Chain A
């Protein structure tokens, strides 16, 4: 395992431009802050007793009328925005990461099976994938969380909402993994080292896991980076639309939703700071992902 500290060094060795290294450091920093939210946040935004309505809608500390206790101001309930954002980022990243993990596990497994065996298994998995892909992520996710809410009254609570969001996002994203891994598996399966393993008589499970999987892993990692960014965005969108995380346990998207109601009254910070954090986080991950894709996907390299 690479430790966090050695990651920039790794990127340097791979010849990454400085912008990618900065983005990687920034992304790691934001993830670290979010994970350590309970340690570094000045207040506990989930503790309803800790905030008071007198402090509601205070502008950031550096603006006129700012309160030095609240660096980035407060929301409509008097909650410290910085703390809420740190906790919110943690929720966003956890849900995004969970969705990517679920989608990757499912998609890689199905992609390996489809690519290795071909035939009907392949056709079945890919048809299902086609049908799912003919609907945009956001629509499918809306539908899943909408239906979940309708069937299951507890779906909107802080305990269940994250799980439902993870499933709602992963239901679309696994297809991309399955397609990529299937294509890569087909290429690898046709290669002579896999034929050699078959001639030796190795069982399919071993060929798939020991021989093929390590060779398709780099593309899985590249997709995962880009999908993590996409998943965080989807979660934020769902929460913004009011079918994601509840206001009592907000993600970045929920905070923006809350802030959106105040934009017209000139109270810009409640929406803008979480939005900025979201964009910077996603941008940083995307910069890294984009570079990884250019570097590891030979199709995009100019030279033959």
Chain B
């Protein structure tokens, strides 16, 4: 396990290095920071002074080193558009996105796993066929279309739920939560469902495929031959094997939920990091783009590490390697 851990750490470091390099290159070369930051009719001398003060006359490696140093100390630059520190912007937006992702993860796992098992156990039943058909529609419908349709039905036509924003939030120190007010919870509902739907179908299909695979394995045949009760075989034995890959995928899912939150947040004008990012992209607000990239990269690396460790804890074959 130590070996696995070390190789994973190496990979994580590699990912972070690539990500930081990309975001540094964006910072340095994409658009001209001097042109962006200086007045429109600045003189050549003024520009040169700015260039020096920004350290842009230093060798590349030094600049990259400084960039890394600044990043590690939490200074991610100033947004071109808002003229505020990027770290501050992200800190404000983070709770909104994470709460949305949390709701979506819980929804997709708590529905996806039972539905997948159902489809694997009774593959020719009416319910399984229906779920299968719906899941195909699910993966064929882009998140933003789901969102628009939900808004059309529940916000525009029925007027039951709000179509944009977080509703009322409660500030708990540096964290603002929508879980504690009725309007906050109502506001979470549509975006949460929208974000969860696509992931739900993926999890359901994965669980189904894994479960079918496991059910045809020799050790399940052997369990049947020992006359163990079917329910015991399905839910205590086979499900455990089938859920192993789900751990990995759920990790990746959380990552992709953060990415898909960009779309959901755009549709619902949800004040999270995704909306911040997409606005930065359309305004070519490089510091915000770079910071988002770094931040999301870090999040992914952390999630992947947690998943790997979890996997090693759950799977005895990996656990044994540490010995």
Contact = CB atoms under 8 A, between A and B. Distances in A.
Contact flag (A, B; Cβ within 8 A): yes
Interface of A: 127, 130-131, 134-139, 142-143, 146-147, 149-151, 229, 233, 236-237, 240-243, 253, 256, 259-260, 263-264, 266, 268, 271-272, 275, 278-279, 282-283, 286-287, 290, 299-300, 302-304
Contact of B145 (A146, A149, A150, A278): A278
Given A147-B26, A302-B216, A304-B216, A279 B140 contact: yes
Nearest to A265: B156
A69 B263 CA distance: 35
B304 interface: yes
A229 B201 CA distance: 15
B14 A127 contact: yes
A241 B279 CA distance: 9
Interface string B182-219: 00000000000000000000000000010011011000
Interface string B234-267: 0000000000000000001001101110110011
B216 A303 contact: yes
Given A150-B30, A256-B148, A243 B263 contact: no
A275 B300 contact: no
Interface stretch (B47-55, B280-288, B309-317): B280-288
Majority SS of interface residues in chain B?
Answer: helix
Contacts of A272: 148-149, 152
Interface residue range, chain B = 35 or more
Interface in B145-166: 145, 148-149, 151-152, 156, 163
Interface of B: 11, 14-15, 18, 22, 26, 29-31, 123, 136-137, 139-145, 148-149, 151-152, 156, 163, 209, 212-213, 215-216, 252, 255-256, 258-260, 262-263, 266-267, 277-278, 281-282, 284, 286, 289, 293, 296-297, 300-301, 304
A231 to B, nearest CB: 12
A134 B29 CA distance: 25
B148 to A, nearest CB: 6
A240 B26 CA distance: 24
25 contacts: A127-B11, A135-B296, A142-B262, A142-B281, A143-B289, A147-B26, A149-B284, A233-B142, A237-B263, A240-B144, A241-B278, A253-B142, A256-B144, A256-B145, A263-B152, A268-B156, A272-B148, A278-B145, A279-B137, A279-B140, A279-B142, A279-B145, A286-B139, A300-B213, A302-B216
B14 A131 contact: yes
